[in-house]
Amino acid sequence: RKRQRYVEKDGKCNVQHGNVRETYRYLTDIFTTLVDLKWRFSLLIFILAYALTWLFFGLIWWVIAYSRGDLEHLGDHSWTPCVNNLNGFVSAFLFSIETETTIGYGHRVITDTCPEGIVLLLLQAILGSMVNAFMVGCMFVKISQPNKRAETLVFSRHAVVSLRDDRLCLMFRVGDLRDSHIVEASIRAKLIQSKQTQEGEFIPLDQTDLSVGFETGDDRLFLVSPLIISHEIDERSPFWDVSRGQLERDDFEIVVILE
């Protein structure tokens, strides 16, 4: 029967955070927050960070040229402007891009008679380096996350309970489709179900470990060929007192974590 899953087959968790009041905590770790964003929002912030920086400094370069009277002496070779060949806001914006990205086409260049321009040049160079380091680092971490690596890790569609070496076991299979082998992988299994404590407390999503070979080291996999993962149903297993009929009726979920 159709059940609402805690974790989908593709690894997505059906958990939504609600009533989060201390949202400022996301801003205290802005780097991780940007990495966790969806790609469309990350790209939007990436573009805005550069575009707004270029526009901001382009506006300041234009204000400096306007306040010094450079725009009123266009074509006057006896006048030394702050930035040569800066004749409006568009050229100031282009000069801001050239400065921050260190392109240096050579047509627009700052002169040594403009101390405020020299100070602004230093500030933009420093701030531009910080923006580059932050945004490029964020995008690199986001790209290097192995989210799609799980696409070639396949689990058996069904888990079975059967005898193995005369012991009742819960078994499933896992395999890797890639030729680049995964070595020293570890696997864990969690049983998620509601629970009523002896004190009467109801726990809707209680998590219980299912042993898949932690004591013997069988949980560390050499995943060259498909492997059968086995959980022995003994006295320590949460399925020890569960009958076959109860197993079919109970509402629970087993989440397998391959790390």
State the DSSP H helix or E strand holding residue 160, giving kind and residue range, or none if neither.
strand 160-164
Is the sign of the CA dihedral 74, 109, 129, 40 positive or negative? Answer: positive
Q: pLDDT by residue (tens digit) across 120-129?
A: 999 999 999 9
* Nearest of 176, 186, 183, 171 to residue 150 by alpha carbon: 176
**Beta partners for residue 145, in sequence order:** none
**Residue, of 1 and 253, whose pLDDT is higher:** 253
Asked whether the beta carbons of 191 and 210 are under 8 A apart, the reply is yes
Q: Does domain 23-144 have CATH number 1.10.287.70?
A: yes
How does residue 152 score in pLDDT terms, banded at 50, 70 and 90? confident
Mean pLDDT throughout 208-224? 88
CB-based contacts of 84, cutoff 8 Å, min separation 6:
108, 109, 110, 111
Mean pLDDT throughout 140-154? 79
User: Considering the entire predicted model, what is its pTM?
Assistant: 0.65
How does residue 224 score in pLDDT terms, banded at 50, 70 and 90? confident
Rg, the chain, Cα only: 31
**Residue, of 16 and 247, whose pLDDT is higher:** 247
Asked whether the beta carbons of 68 and 82 are under 8 A apart, the reply is yes
Query: Which pLDDT value is given to residue 232?
Result: 92
Q: Which of 23-27, 129-133, 168-172 has the lowest mean pLDDT?
A: 23-27
- 26/36 Cα distance (integer angstroms): 11
Query: Which pLDDT value is given to residue 259?
Result: 85
- 62/82 Cα distance (integer angstroms): 10
Helix axes 115-144, 39-68, angle to 10 degrees: 170
Query: Which pLDDT value is given to residue 2?
Result: 63
Query: Which pLDDT value is given to residue 1?
Result: 56
How does residue 157 score in pLDDT terms, banded at 50, 70 and 90? confident
Q: pLDDT by residue (tens digit) across 9-52?
A: 777 787 877 777 777 777 778 888 888 888 899 899 999 999 99
Long-range contacts of 194-198 (CB under 8 A, 24+ apart): 194/251
DSSP string, 85-152: T--SHHHHHHHHHHHHHT---SSSEE-TT-HHHHHHHHHHHHHHHHHHHHHHHHHHHHHH--GGGGGG
Segments making up each domain of the chain, as ranges: 23-144, 150-258
Q: Which of 29-33, 147-151, 194-198 has the lowest mean pLDDT?
A: 147-151
What number of H helices and E strands is found in the chain? 6, 10
- Write the CA distances from 171 to 64, 163, 189, 195, integer angstroms: 73, 10, 11, 24
- 168/166 Cα distance (integer angstroms): 7
Average pLDDT over all residues of the chain: 87
Q: pLDDT by residue (tens digit) across 62-75?
A: 999 999 998 988 88
> For 143, phi and psi rounded to 5 degrees?
-70, -35
What number does CATH give the domain 150-258? 2.60.40.1400
